[in-house]
Structure 1
Amino acid sequence: MKEEVFLIEECVDDERVDKYLFRSLKTLSRSYIQKLIEESNVLVNDKTIKSKYKIKKGDLIKVYIKETTEIEVKAENVYLDILYEDDDIIIVNKEQGMVVHPASGNHDGTLVNALVNHSSNLSKVNGSERPGIVHRIDKDTSGVLVIAKNDDSHCILADQFKAHTIKREYYALVEGVLKNDVGTIDTIIGRNPKQKIKFAVVEEGKRAITHYEVLERYENNTLVRCNLETGRTHQIRVHMAHIGHPLVGDPVYGYKKQRFKLKGQMLHAKSLGFIHPTKNQYVKFESNLPEYFIKMVTRLKKSCK
């Protein structure tokens, strides 16, 4: 990720930050700059801002731009766990460790490579490198994803994600024993000003709401069900760490010294519910807990006896 830094040394009369960056970064469109701001990739004085922010003398602006190169997506015979498919959507149960789409350092073996091999009908809204991809989950998070097979379906689904009407349920195994049976975490999440690859609870950013319910308590851990009211990057991982109960195995937000040798955070996207793009009916898709998750929970149950 490339960083551009600007120090405002002169007074600028009521100039918006997106307009200023459009003048300064001549190779980027204003709409792309606004997208960077929306995704918390623009910080002013180490805080996230909105496009309408008026810059002032002394402001330090940091812009993080993903360095992209055109990647040829090759069809690969990679196993796909397809839960459902019709003319408009594919519901996939992604395994832990699989990257959703090709990017720097991950060109092969991704979900997209498998999808291209499986179907020639995928939406083109997100370009040739992310055909069909409406939303993502982290590499080491397993679970349910919806794929769009045409542009109309993609746009309808994207609008539902934007309106936060998609129902998303996750199972998470966290460190420590939660006292309350249910709870809601309502904060602002934005780019971590000290570590740009991380997100954090900050003063300025986007509102993030996670509802959780305790399913089982163990000696030193808790199994919780999380329902997302919003869908920010790393939301559950950031929120659970924020309340002092990071996800077991989380290499970014978890404990520095992990008690278990795991491949990544214990987080599974259990179900996904939405209005079908053409049938106009509410549909819900669920996946079973994967083997890695069951083994860990079984191990913790035995330790309680």
Structure 2
Amino acid sequence: MSLNSYTITSNEHNERLDKVLTALSEDASRAQVQVWIKDQHVTVNDSYQKSNYKCQEGDLLSWEVPEPEPMEVLAEDIPLDIVYEDQDVIVVNKPKGMVVHPSAGHNSGTLVNALLYHCQDLSGINGVMRPGIVHRIDKDTSGLLMVAKNDKAHTSLAEQLSDKSVERKYVALVSGVIHHEYGTIDAPIGRDPKDRQKMGVVEGGKNAVTHFKVLDRFEEHTLVECVLETGRTHQIRVHMNYIEHPIVGDPKYGPRKTLDLNGQALHAKELGFTHPSTGEYLHFNSELPVELEQVLVDLTK
């Protein structure tokens, strides 16, 4: 078991223990956290409390994360939008709302479950929970994702990501009007110290660079193309929020009052990489989701 501790700040004062601990636990659901508390894996100031305990500023939380029970990842007959496939790689167009790989609270309905049904020959470098997965996009981000079908391909694609030779272009609809045509956001990203469920631009964070250009402007919004130089968690979402142009519909970083969209208006539109075996450069382009296209039409009226 791993032992963790955290001192309650004014931000969590009077919040329920289970709610605070869920926010501090990256992959655990609230139901799981409640089991930890019930099974006495959690203490507050060296005493056991119930899930509804109201945390006080200065309280010291200590908790052990129980070793997870072995999880079997099952193949599931889920439709896949396959853009390209050969013996080494698969490029899929992931729909909004689909989690990429199983984790606590998401052990079915993921892209990996669908891939295992489609083909059994996926790379094993990332283990049983993430076969073939070289990079990820968020659950509510749609678009292109490359998957490795063997370890050689996985190594090659991972090296290309590391040396920044993979082309990844996203399209995002953001709040507010950006008046300049181009921009680069070079700001380190790490866990937000005020909200452990969020990432943020923080001192000592990991290097993160996003380039953007304006594609279209509307009365209160801007359509931008973002190019990733690095691949940090929630990078585009955090960076656009940092320059005060958060992505429309983003439940974590966006404004509360927003357009009627089910999730953030962020789409992984273009993907380019060198084929692991042939050395050929492959480039793919994905149409914007119908829902986002309709929003753009409505904004031009």
Q: Given the two structures, how large is their TM-score scaled by the length of structure 2?
A: 0.78
Match of 1:202 in 2: 202
Letter in 1 for 2:260: K
Match of 2:162 in 1: 162
Match of 2:109 in 1: 109
Match of 1:128 in 2: 128
User: Partners of 1:63 and 1:279 in 2: how far apart?
Assistant: 50
- SS of the counterpart of 2:207? strand
Q: Deviations over 1:64-105 (max 9, x none)?
A: 979644321111111100000000000000000011111112
Task: Check conservation: 1:71, 1:103, Cα contact below 8 A.
Answer: no
Match of 1:56 in 2: none
Closer, same or farther: CA 63–218 of 1 in aligned 2, 3 Å: farther
Work out whether 1:297 is the aligned partner of 2:296.
yes
- SS of the counterpart of 1:183? strand
Task: Check conservation: 1:71, 1:102, Cα contact below 8 A.
Answer: no
- SS of the counterpart of 1:222? strand
Letter in 1 for 2:277: T
Match of 1:86 in 2: 86
Q: Deviations over 1:125-156 (max 9, x none)?
A: 11111111111000000000000000110011
User: Partners of 2:106 and 2:134 in 1: how far apart?
Assistant: 19
Unaligned runs of 5+ in 2: 8-59
Match of 1:139 in 2: 139
Shift of 1:297: 0.8
Q: Given the two structures, how large is their TM-score scaled by the length of structure 1?
A: 0.77
CA RMSD in angstroms, aligned pairs only: 2.2
**Bigger shift: 208-217 or 104-113?**
104-113
Closer, same or farther: CA 111–66 of 1 in aligned 2, 3 Å: farther
Work out whether 1:100 is the aligned partner of 2:100.
yes
Task: Check conservation: 1:201, 1:242, Cα contact below 8 A.
Answer: yes
Shift of 1:266: 0.4
User: Partners of 1:64 and 1:290 in 2: how far apart?
Assistant: 42
User: Partners of 1:66 and 1:291 in 2: how far apart?
Assistant: 43
User: Partners of 2:83 and 2:298 in 1: how far apart?
Assistant: 28
User: Partners of 2:258 and 2:155 in 1: how far apart?
Assistant: 43
Q: Percent identity?
A: 54
Match of 1:71 in 2: 71
Length, aligned pairs only: 248
Unaligned runs of 5+ in 1: 8-59
Q: Deviations over 1:245-271 (max 9, x none)?
A: 00000000111x223232211000001
Shift of 1:290: 1.2
Task: Check conservation: 1:141, 1:269, Cα contact below 8 A.
Answer: yes
